[in-house]
Amino acid sequence: MPVPPPAEPAPRRRVGFAPVVDADTRLLILGSLPGDASLAAGQYYAHPRNGFWRLTGGVIGRDLIALPYPQRLEALKAAGIGLWDVITTAHRAGSLDAAIRDPEFADLTGLVATLPQLRAVAFNGATAARAGRRAMAGYADALTLIDLPSSSPAHARPLAEKARAWAVLDEFTG
């Protein structure tokens, strides 16, 4: 009688980070859920091939890659940019959004209510856009909602092409 293959372990529950915002946040960039490299480092967009810091650095005109992580966050906040994710916790094996199971969604409307200067919400990738647009439907007239190509290396588009799309964020920074 054949022996069944060993059962794969259940995906671990991943828990994202707190929002990085302040009262001067004019643009909120929402990802889906931090990947393994980010969770291990305790930092947003920590995977070395993720283009996020190059893309946002291009928008604000600063080399964010050269800065230590706390200074990167301060540079974003100084430009009026906040960060968070649309999913606060989920089961996921690996880092791909397609592997997300049983997500718990962030209280985006609760956060937005605390940001008096907020003018726009940008979604970093399709998963963030799908969930984020549903959550932000009541704000569609009050805020500009922007879908961006994912900064993830799994989203195989040239960085220069992504940068052209991300350049629209310039209107909300500074």
Catalytic residue chosen out of the listed positions 50, 124, 127, 152: 50
Catalytic: 50?
Answer: yes
Structure tokens at 163: 């940068």
d(CA 95, CA 98): 9
Please spell the DSSP secondary structure of 69-137, one letter per residue.
HHHHHHHHHHTTEEEEESEEEEE-SSS-GGG-EEEEE--HHHHHTT-TT--EEEEESHHHHHHHHHHTG
Active site residues: 50
